[in-house]
Amino acid sequence: MEVALDSYLDSLPSPSLYPRLLCCGKTSKFYCPSCLKLLLPPSQPPLPPFTLPFSCTIISSDPSRTSTGVHLKVLSPTTTTLIPSPEPCPPYDPRTTVVLFPSDDEDNPSVDIKEIGGVERVIVFDCKWTKTGGVRGEEFKGYKRVHLSDDSIKYSRYWRWHTFGPSMLCTLEAVYSAAWSLSEEREGLVDMFWIFGMMRKSMGEGKGGKYKRGVVRGGDGRELKPFEIEYKMKMEEERRQEGGERQRRQREDAKQAKLNKKSKKIT
């Protein structure tokens, strides 16, 4: 699974061959975030057709430019339903529908996705890792919950970083892992990463992880790219240090405010 993914990501052409194109009144690269149309210049061949092996409903709370679930809607529009949160999700057949979300809830614990048969639709929450509370709502209690198998993607190739470790996958990677587990026809599944891979490669050919922090370098002095594990680990450590320093200042401020309050009472 991961060998096929890495091979595919490495084989993609240079993003410089795909200029920004006009759509919906503005120029965009790879796809239009307004109408979700794939944007390919006439000089480049069409992409091979791609269809998910199951229907996928994506509950999205992220802007379209940061949401990898949107990539699925662009590349497999007939099998992907995109529902912006907090719009309600339509009812589905609970016998053939599962929610991809790990859970240790005693009333509805998640099971390995490989242990479930007859899956025709997978519901996925495409949101930040800290905003998954909606999955616990009444709207989704009637569906079985599943988690990814142990042989799913081990670390994320995504360029966004967080403090939950490299094993936390983005929506696209999670759907790919689920499709790999549920489908016997795995050839071509990596095609769902075309937009993802081209955006990722754009960073690889660009100036690296500058952003607001300046250039981020590895132990060997090499400029790191945002999707590299070492880059993410450095950002995670920096975030933890910033959080610790912020909490220290808050404690000191609270202590000083308490002393000031006592001083006023004495005078």
Please compute, for residue 192, the number of CA atoms within 13 A of its CA located in the half-sphere on the CB side. Answer: 26
Compare 106 and 164 and report the one with higher pLDDT: 106
DSSP code at position 90: P
Please state, as a whole number, how many other Cβ atoms lie within 10 Å of the Cβ of residue 99. Answer: 22
Q: What is residue 264's predicted lDDT score, i.e. its pLDDT?
A: 66
- In this model, does residue 130 exceed pLDDT 60? no
Which H or E run contains 235? helix 229-266
pTM (2 decimals)? 0.75
Confidence of residue 19 (pLDDT cuts 50, 70, 90): very high
CB count within 10 Å of CB 162 equals 16
Q: Model confidence over 62-72: pLDDT tens digits? A: 656 678 999 99
- Is the pLDDT at 154 greater than 90, yes or no? no
Residue reference for tokens 């360029």 = 159
- Residue 210 confidence (pLDDT): 44
| Distance of alpha carbon 148 from alpha carbon 74, whole angstroms | 24
Give the pLDDT confidence score for residue 209 in this predicted structure.
43
Q: What is the pLDDT of residue 240?
A: 66
Q: Are strands 97-100 and 80-84 parallel, antiparallel or unpaired?
A: unpaired
Cβ atoms of residues 116 and 146 within 8 Å: yes
Q: What is the DSSP string of 185-226?
A: --TTGGGGGHHHHHHHHHHHHTT-S-TTT---B-TTSPBPPT
pLDDT in tens, 33-57: 999 999 999 999 999 989 999 999 9
pLDDT in tens, 171-223: 999 999 999 999 888 889 999 999 999 998 887 665 444 444 567 676 677 76
Query: What is the torsional sign of CA 236, 237, 240, 242?
Result: negative
Distance of CA 37 to the CA centre of its chain: 20
Mean pLDDT across the chain: 82
The three-state secondary structure class of 246 is helix
pLDDT tier at 236 (50, 70, 90 boundaries)? Answer: low
Least confident of 182-191, 204-213, 234-243, 252-261: 204-213
Q: What is the pLDDT of residue 102?
A: 84
Q: Locate tokens 């060998």: which residue?
A: 3
Position 262 pLDDT exceeds 90? no
Indicate the range of 95-99, 134-138, 196-200 predicted with least confidence: 134-138
Q: What is the pLDDT of residue 207?
A: 47
